[in-house]
Amino acid sequence: MARVPIGLELYSVREDLARDPKGTLKRVAEMGYDGVEFAGFPLPADELRGILDELGIVCCSSHTPLDHLLGAKLEETVAFNRTLGNKMLICPWIGEPYYGSRAGWLQAAELFNGIADRLAPHGMVTGYHNHDAEFKAEYDGETPWDIFFSHTKKEVVMQLDTGNALHGGGLSAPILRKFPGRARSVHLKPYSVTAAKAGPNAGFAPLIGEDEIPWAEIFELCETIGGTEWYVVEYECDAYPALDAVERCLKALRAMGK
pLDDT tens digits, one per residue of 31-62: 999 999 999 999 999 999 999 999 999 999 99
pLDDT at 96: 87
Backbone torsions φ then ψ of 106, nearest 5 degrees:
-65, -40
The DSSP secondary-structure symbol of 124 reads -
Q: Cis before residue 97, ω within 30 degrees of 0?
A: yes
Residues 6 or more apart whose CB falls under 8 angstroms from that of 117 comprise none
C-alpha dist (Å) from residue 3 to 13, 135, 188, 254:
25, 30, 15, 11
Inter-helix orientation angle 45-55/21-31, to 10°: 30
pLDDT at 247: 98
**Length of the chain measured in residues:** 258
The DSSP H or E segment spanning 6 is strand 6-9
pLDDT at 69 over 70: yes
Please state, for a pLDDT cut of 70, what percent of the chain lies above it: 100
Q: Where are the domains of the chain?
A: 6-255
Measured in whole angstroms, the distance separating CA 190 from the mean position of its chain's CA atoms is: 13
Under CATH, to which class is 6-255 assigned?
alpha beta
pLDDT at 1: 66
pTM of the predicted model, to two decimals? Answer: 0.97
Q: List the end-to-end C-alpha distance of the chain, in Å, as a whole number.
A: 11
